[in-house]
Amino acid sequence: MAGDKLILILPVIVFIGFVITFHYRGSVQTYILFILYLLPFMAFKVVKEDWGGFKIVDIISFYSVFFLFKRFTLVSTHRENNFYFLMFLLLVVTTFLGILASEYPGNAIVKVLKIIPIFIFGRFLISECLIDRNFSLKVLNALKFSFVFSLLFLLVQVFVGLGFTWYPTLNPNITDSASEFIRFPGIFYDAQSHGQYLALGSFLFLIFPSEMKRKTIIMNLCIFAIAILALSLTGSRSAFGGFWMGLFVVFILAGKRYVHYIIAFLIVGLVAFNSFFANSPVFSRTGTVSEDLQFRQSIWIDAFQIAKENPYLGIGWGNYQNYIMRHKQDQYLVINDEILYFDQPENGYLKVLVELGFVGFAIFLVFVIKPLINGITLFLKNTADYKIVFLIASLVSWVVAFNTVYSLFDERILIMVVTILALLIAVPEKMDLKYERD
């Protein structure tokens, strides 16, 4: 597939499609659902990196907020919504000051502008879920649709080969001639991001609205099982570990209700392991675990030392690679006789800590942990529908995998994570995911 041409053509087609759809049905829901249904396309770059590297989702968000500005600035009566709005403003200020105080202050405004679109998306999504009780189901259906598309894309890639992609080049780590395996990136540039996406989305297929037919439930369970097989093809141990941790959360919080499903998946899992998983990249790489851990620990130690040297505002958002090239030149890999300096310390949390400092890192943790704790609390108090467990499990899978690789550089992962967080924040008490009859 001519990836270089597709990257130029597809963003134009997507944006034109959005403009037509938006002006025909211009609303907040149109904006949100368009992004989620076409999530696999949202990371296409429409502006050169020298000019900011804005993606198609950024342009769509700025375009939408221009026409929906009154709705965007509407003051919410929901305290949680207002709290996260204030936290975001504080994050923007902290990030901006950190970039200005860094060794690379020239592009501070552009970098801050690139943060705004995801906030636009998240604020609209939370407010819409609070206004329309049934909108959460539409959101889940949109995510499921785009997830199935990504599975079909992967299926073709498995049979046709890695030439079936819309990127001119792929991350060099998808192939390893020494161990003779291929890590399939699917719709992504990188196989590890693909793994996190599959783990995040798989749990959504365990959410069954009250009015869902039995055939549809069986279909969702089949897709969940296929997602596990797809996850093994990414060769991402961190994503696979996150998935199992999410499944463990389901077992702990809602084990009685789903015990028959859990037993069935354990049986299927044992059979699949003996016939397929044992030969997958996830398990064929286990011999290098100790070596990989030692290598990563050396990078983590260096990263934490950098954070201690820049404790308040960090080294500036997006500056890790630039900083390494100047101050820590031993953090590099040689791939195809080319030196590649790290743009992250092989740990998502450490990258945020190093670049934003302890203040920005604390705000980041609030965005992630507070909705997670609130969701668990609501469930344990029996004031939220049991289906919230799968949203919690989905987020937990990413929280675990994020420990080994920073994935939020990809807008599709970022949108998926923010969507799960927004649903946890806006979930109404005693919510039942079904369409209410008028």
Q: Which two tokens mark 213?
A: 């037919």
What is the residue range of 152's domain?
3-286+345-426
Q: Which two tokens mark 139?
A: 């959101």
pLDDT at 437: 32
In a domain, 304, yes or no: no
Do the beta carbons of residue 188 and residue 176 sit within 8 Å? no
pLDDT at 217: 87
Q: For residue 6, with 0-12 CB atoms within 10 Å meaning exposed, 13-18 middle and 19 or more buried, which class applies?
A: middle
Q: Which amino acid is at 34?
A: F
What region, left, alpha or beta, does residue 336 occupy, with left being phi > 0 and alpha being psi -120 to 50 degrees?
left
Do the beta carbons of residue 32 and residue 139 sit within 8 Å? yes
What is the spatial distance between Cα 177 and Cα 136, in angstroms, rounded to a whole number? 45
Full pLDDT tens readout for the chain, 438 residues: 445 566 778 888 999 999 999 988 789 999 999 999 999 999 998 887 777 789 999 999 999 999 998 888 776 667 777 888 889 999 999 999 999 988 888 777 888 889 999 999 999 999 898 888 889 999 999 999 999 999 999 999 999 988 888 887 777 777 654 455 678 999 998 889 999 999 999 999 988 877 778 888 889 988 998 998 898 888 888 898 899 899 888 888 876 666 666 666 666 656 655 655 555 555 555 455 566 667 778 888 888 999 999 989 999 898 888 888 888 777 777 666 667 778 888 899 999 999 999 999 999 999 999 999 988 888 888 777 778 899 999 999 999 999 988 889 899 999 999 999 999 988 755 444 443 333
In a domain, 438, yes or no: no
In a domain, 431, yes or no: no
In a domain, 302, yes or no: no
Q: Which amino acid is at 374?
A: N
Q: Which two tokens mark 280?
A: 């997958």
Do the beta carbons of residue 424 and residue 375 sit within 8 Å? yes
In a domain, 70, yes or no: yes
In a domain, 9, yes or no: yes
Per the structure, how many domains does the chain have?
A: 1
Q: Which two tokens mark 53?
A: 């590297």
In a domain, 214, yes or no: yes
